[in-house]
């Protein structure tokens, strides 16, 4: 009978070899296949083929094709304002003599960066709130590999996509005159933070919902089985390191769901601390002053989960109030500048 069974030594060697092979395979899959986990663009089923249009929600829009520097075509939606779009919550006394183009130029433009599942069509109701209630122009970005856009998603690719969207606005004959606000949910928040950190002078404000400090730090919670392999995560999205690159004069609104079971609220709180530190005391010319903190706000919604924070009572009021406050940023900036050591020096020399 003994001939039918392997020896313990042979069995042990075989087990070790199998374990080593499976471990190597697991590491390989974790490293080379992580983009499929991080960017599930085909989920829910049909997300790459069935993409709703703003017209399905009675919103006027333009199909916008953007070609990135690496020759990827992004199929996005642009919702430029219209004088007859309705008063909404942002009551506007529009002069009769104002042209459509002048009206568009007078309103803020929101760039929407969505989360890692689904497509831009799933977020049209949110765009509708920006468009109708707050009277904003809206650019709905569609990352590469999502919806009807070409290519495959990656951190490098999404960074290019975001820059392409911003460049389109800043070179547009009308929209380049508008205040540009970045709105990012989940991984879209990381995209927004990255873009703002590289284009500080072009961004008016950021609105961030349920985003994370970095992907490697999120892996142990979001994917516990892969926690020990978090060091292999090559998609970094290190927002905590990029927040300090955003000037303290850039307003930031942070919206956190206390019941988020995917991105623990500790991540948003850590990012908030980084945002708040932009307002630390500074000294120049022997004068100590503080900048930036009054331009940031953190709002936590006790009933908010990862995907439904935007449906919580008070969410859109917070967003609306924040955007309304930006209308006077330019004047506040001038007044604040007078209070800085440099401004005081100029005043005393007059």
- Alpha carbon distance 253, 257 (integer Å): 14
> Residue 94 corresponds to which tokens in the numbers above?
């529009």
Q: Which of 114, 194, 260, 267 is catalytic?
A: 260
Q: Specify whether 238 is catalytic.
A: no
* Residue 119 DSSP class: -
Can 161 be counted among the known catalytic residues? no
Q: Where are the alpha helices (DSSP H) in the chain?
A: 8-32, 34-38, 100-106, 124-128, 155-171, 187-198, 215-222, 239-242, 265-277, 315-325, 329-339, 341-349
Contact (CB, 8 A) for 48 and 147? yes
- Please report, in angstroms and rounded to a whole number, the separation of the first and last CA atoms in the chain: 105
Residue of 114, 148, 172, 306 marked catalytic: 306
Dihedral (Cα; 169, 296, 307, 315), 10-degree rounding: -100
- Is residue 308 annotated as part of the catalytic site, yes or no? no
Report how far residue 34's alpha carbon sits from residue 234's, in angstroms, rounded to the nearest whole number: 8
| Cβ-contact 242, 200 below 8 angstroms | no
**Residue 75: exposure state from Cβ atoms within 10 A (0-12, 13-18, ≥19):** middle
> What pairing do the DSSP bridges indicate for beta strands 180-185 and 137-140?
unpaired
Beta-carbon contacts of 314 under 8 Å, excluding residues fewer than 6 positions away, are 299, 301
- What DSSP state is assigned to residue 186? T
Name the catalytic one among 186, 214, 217, 256.
Answer: 186
Active-site amino acid positions: 186, 260, 306
């Amino acid at each position: 009978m003994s001939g039918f069974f392997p020896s313990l030594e042979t069995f042990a060697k075989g087990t070790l070899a199998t374990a080593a092979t499976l471990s190597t395979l697991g590491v390989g899959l974790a490293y080379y296949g992580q983009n499929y986990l991080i960017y599930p663009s085909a989920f829910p089923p049909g997300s790459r083929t069935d993409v709703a249009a703003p017209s399905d929600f009675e919103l006027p829009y333009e199909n916008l094709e953007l070609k990135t520097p690496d020759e990827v075509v992004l199929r996005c939606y642009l919702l430029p304002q219209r004088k007859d779009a309705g008063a909404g919550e942002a009551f506007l006394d529009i002069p009769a003599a104002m042209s459509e183009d002048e009206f568009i130029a007078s309103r803020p433009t929101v760039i929407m960066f969505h989360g890692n599942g689904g497509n831009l069509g799933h977020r049209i109701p949110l765009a509708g709130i920006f468009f109708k209630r707050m009277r904003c122009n809206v650019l709905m970005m569609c990352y590469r590999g999502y919806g009807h856009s070409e290519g495959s998603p990656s951190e490098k690719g999404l960074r290019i996509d975001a820059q392409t969207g911003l460049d389109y606005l800043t070179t547009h004959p009308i929209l380049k005159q508008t205040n540009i606000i970045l709105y990012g949910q989940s991984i879209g928040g990381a995209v927004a933070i990255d873009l703002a950190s590289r284009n500080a002078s072009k961004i008016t404000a950021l609105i961030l919902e349920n985003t994370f400090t970095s992907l490697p730090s999120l892996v142990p919670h979001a994917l516990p089985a892969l926690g020990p392999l978090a060091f292999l995560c090559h998609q970094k999205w290190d927002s905590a390191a990029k927040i300090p690159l955003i000037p303290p004069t850039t307003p930031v609104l942070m919206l956190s769901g206390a019941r988020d079971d995917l991105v623990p609220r500790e991540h948003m709180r850590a990012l908030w601390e980084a945002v708040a530190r932009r307002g630390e005391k500074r000294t120049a010319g022997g004068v100590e002053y503080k900048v930036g903190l009054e331009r940031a706000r953190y709002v936590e919604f006790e009933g908010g989960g990862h995907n439904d924070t935007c449906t919580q009572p008070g969410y859109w009021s917070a967003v609306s109030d924040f955007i309304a406050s930006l209308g006077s940023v330019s004047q506040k900036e001038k007044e604040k500048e007078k209070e800085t050591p440099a401004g005081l020096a100029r005043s005393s020399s007059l």
